[in-house]
Structure 1
Amino acid sequence: MANRRHFLAGLLAATACPRPTWAEAGSPAFLSAAMTRGGRYQLCGLSAAGQITFACPLPDRGHAAAAHPEQPLAVGFARRPGRFAVVLDCVTGNEIARFDAPEGRHFYGHGAFSPDGSRLYTAENDYASARGVIGVWSLDGKRLGEFDSHGTGPHDIRLMPDGQTLVVANGGIETHPDAGRTKLNIPLMEPSLAFLTLEGALLDQQRLERSLHKNSIRHLAVGPDGTVAFAMQWQGDLSEDPPLIGVTRRGGTPRLFTVPPEQATRMQGYAGSVALLADAREVAITSPRGGLAQVFDLGSGALTRTIGMMDVCGVAASGTGFLLTSGTGEVRGETQVTHDLHWDNHLVPI
């Protein structure tokens, strides 16, 4: 009887104190890692207008983040080849758990939650075996398991709209912490997109044509209809000016979009981030090296407009257009604001 009373008391307490929501963290629309002018690292929430809604400290430089689908919790990931990922309470700013990469592994800076937020999937490098791994974690930092990414160098990872499938960008590049950020297998690269079940079964794998095997597939954006856009980084001769953006669907064939030669030269083979504006049928990529963002028609693949912006890298769909962030602190969309921060690579939708 006592146990029953305690159970009922706990149930009533839980009902009386509902879990906090993203509204209590200022209703952010996006997450982005940043560095202050004083050299401290943060994970910030941004509104659709580019205003900062919260800032949580990070132990070192961050890369991207994953937002919990219901609670105001975010996971901030270390920049490759970092070994930490921290779970942050975006209301209090406290670190509530930490994922430490297992021995012989490091994170690649990206992860994705399961639909109910109970599991986090992380892109990892098993560097002793040059094998890509997807780690599976609970929110309290416990490792629940892992499975093969079916490629080398898995970088970005996204949950598909069906809530049952992951898409993984296997960049194809072998690295090892002893060699820093040196790329060890450029002649033998095999980048791919892998579609996996939440248990790790391979459903579909797509590769570029052999002449483009040095085009590392790095970053992803997923539309509500299952369209996948991907941004690439060329590891070959820069005079070749290869396409750096493509779109596909599960079971389909990648379509690659090209830009005028003068813009391709400016980009130096490097696309930083990608975003899809599903309603407007547009897709955008950024090039911090070229200081520009490019917007394409999703159907025809035609370049429709170019936006010049110094050190631009983060991009996300926002309203009827795209929101952009840069290393200069600028946030540009329908309005423009500059913060006293250096924004890092990615702008992650919540």
Structure 2
Amino acid sequence: MAGLGGLALGAAAPAAGWAGLGGARFLSSARLPDQSYALIGIDGEGEEAFRLALPGRGHAAAAHPSQTIAVAFARRPGDFALVLDCATGEELARLHSPEGRHFYGHGAFSADGATLYTTENAYESGEGRIGVWDAATGFRRIGETPSGGIGPHDVKLVGGGGALVIANGGIRTHPESGRAKLNIPTMRPNLAWLSTKDGAIRNIVEPPEELRLNSLRHLAVAGDLVAVGAQWQGDEASAPPLLALHRPGRELIWADARLRDWASMSGYVGSVAIDATGDEVAITSPRGGTALIFDAATGSCSCRVAAADICGVAAFERGFATTTGRGIWAGRAADGALLRAARHRIEFDNHLIAV
């Protein structure tokens, strides 16, 4: 893996940063009424701060840590990622996955913003890859490294920037088969820790055998705490735990909720977030129209929120902001109580990214 380089994008962002863009606090991809797609900036009241066109359906975005630059990723299996100066609307770069690769819809910047990491599928071999892009040279691709598993969906920076944590979902796919899952009988999801210094995998943890069909998909990080949301690939009548908590050097700790709460998720976590205090974790299910909130210390479920097509979730004040495919943004307290809401004539996509 290439080392970190200097950043040469200083002129692209105003001194006020993200807050200077209409008070932008969040990013989300969305489908518009005319069936086109856009990256939307959202303020702390849930109102639209800016809107930038996308060439196709987006999934998640990566926000630069200090500048108003965002990378909007295509939905899996996608081959584009758009680098946007959200202050000017300028397209700074358009990234394309190399031959034999596709993006998984997620990425992360290094702590200094000099490097972008992307989750990718080397689909002929089925092996996961982390692509490495140099922001100082127009987001030129400078390398890649194994992800430590199959199907790396989400990636986050941890350990003060010294490592990446990767949710390897374990599911093999191939563009010629669309979104078909090709290896369910043998899938082995894992959470992998990768050094940003040398690209070496430092640690891998897997679900126990009885949860082997729990595809680890989405991540949230606060300090040394990692929360990972899963998507169940087994019997649809089952209601397994879908949230695991992890700290370096330990095993996955599976969260505890009532059977009816797990059942309300329909086997599917669409997004996960940790609140600003690090005390609460939220997971969402658009399939179940449900969000569950957990105590991060004990892993126990503290409340359940019902909202049709809810998926996007991010830390907000002392609670969470959520979005739905029906255009609803909501700010909620840590106990799920509604603080404020805004309705939009758009369809928010899966993820809400705090900036």
Q: TM-score, normalised by structure 2?
A: 0.91
Could you say which residue in structure 1 is the equivalent of 2:118?
122
Could you say which residue in structure 1 is the equivalent of 2:200?
201
- Counterpart among 51, 65, 78 of residue 47 in structure 2: 51
The 10-residue stretch of structure 1 (151-160 or 332-341) with the greater mean CA deviation from structure 2: 332-341
% identical aligned pairs: 49
Q: TM-score, normalised by structure 1?
A: 0.93
Looking at structure 1, the residues matched to 62 and 299 of structure 2 have their Cα atoms a distance apart, in angstroms, of 29
Looking at structure 2, the residues matched to 270 and 204 of structure 1 have their Cα atoms a distance apart, in angstroms, of 26
Could you say which residue in structure 2 is the equivalent of 1:5?
none
Could you say which residue in structure 2 is the equivalent of 1:165?
163
The 10-residue stretch of structure 1 (254-263 or 121-130) with the greater mean CA deviation from structure 2: 254-263
Q: CA deviation at 1:18?
A: 8.7
After superposition, the CA RMSD in angstroms is: 1.6
Within 5 Å, give how 1:1-350 maps onto structure 2. 19-20=13-14, 21-139=17-135, 140-198=138-196, 199-223=198-222, 225-279=223-277, 281-333=279-331, 334-350=339-355
After superposition, the C-alpha distances for 1:84-126 in whole angstroms (9 at most, x for unaligned) are: 0010110122212011000010000000001111110000000
Looking at structure 2, the residues matched to 19 and 291 of structure 1 have their Cα atoms a distance apart, in angstroms, of 37
Structure 1, unmatched stretches of 5+, are: 1-13
Is this contact kept in 1: 2:261–2:304, CA < 8 A?
A: no
Amino acid of the structure 1 residue aligned with 2:215: S
Number of aligned residues: 335
Amino acid of the structure 2 residue aligned with 1:92: T
Q: CA deviation at 1:210?
A: 1.1
Structure 2, unmatched stretches of 5+, are: 1-8, 332-338
After superposition, the C-alpha distances for 1:23-54 in whole angstroms (9 at most, x for unaligned) are: 44234211110010111101111122212111
Looking at structure 1, the residues matched to 183 and 99 of structure 2 have their Cα atoms a distance apart, in angstroms, of 22
The 10-residue stretch of structure 1 (252-261 or 333-342) with the greater mean CA deviation from structure 2: 252-261
Looking at structure 1, the residues matched to 129 and 285 of structure 2 have their Cα atoms a distance apart, in angstroms, of 28
Looking at structure 2, the residues matched to 121 and 149 of structure 1 have their Cα atoms a distance apart, in angstroms, of 11
The 10-residue stretch of structure 1 (65-74 or 90-99) with the greater mean CA deviation from structure 2: 90-99
Is this contact kept in 2: 1:86–1:95, CA < 8 A?
A: yes
Q: CA deviation at 1:311?
A: 0.1
Is this contact kept in 2: 1:56–1:94, CA < 8 A?
A: no
Is this contact kept in 1: 2:326–2:348, CA < 8 A?
A: yes
Task: Go from structure 1 to structure 2 and tell me whether the alpha carbon gap of 1:77 and 1:266 turns closer, same or farther (over 3 Å shift).
Answer: same
Amino acid of the structure 2 residue aligned with 1:339: H
Is this contact kept in 2: 1:24–1:72, CA < 8 A?
A: no
Is this contact kept in 1: 2:285–2:311, CA < 8 A?
A: yes
Is this contact kept in 2: 1:229–1:274, CA < 8 A?
A: yes
What secondary structure is seen at the aligned counterpart in 2 of 1:262?
helix
Task: Go from structure 1 to structure 2 and tell me whether the alpha carbon gap of 1:335 and 1:69 turns closer, same or farther (over 3 Å shift).
Answer: same
Task: Go from structure 1 to structure 2 and tell me whether the alpha carbon gap of 1:323 and 1:23 turns closer, same or farther (over 3 Å shift).
Answer: closer
Of structures 1 and 2, the larger Rg is shown by 1
The 10-residue stretch of structure 1 (317-326 or 25-34) with the greater mean CA deviation from structure 2: 25-34
Looking at structure 2, the residues matched to 339 and 80 of structure 1 have their Cα atoms a distance apart, in angstroms, of 25
Q: CA deviation at 1:262?
A: 2.4
Is this contact kept in 2: 1:192–1:205, CA < 8 A?
A: yes
The 10-residue stretch of structure 1 (313-322 or 199-208) with the greater mean CA deviation from structure 2: 199-208
Looking at structure 2, the residues matched to 305 and 271 of structure 1 have their Cα atoms a distance apart, in angstroms, of 16
Is this contact kept in 2: 1:244–1:258, CA < 8 A?
A: no
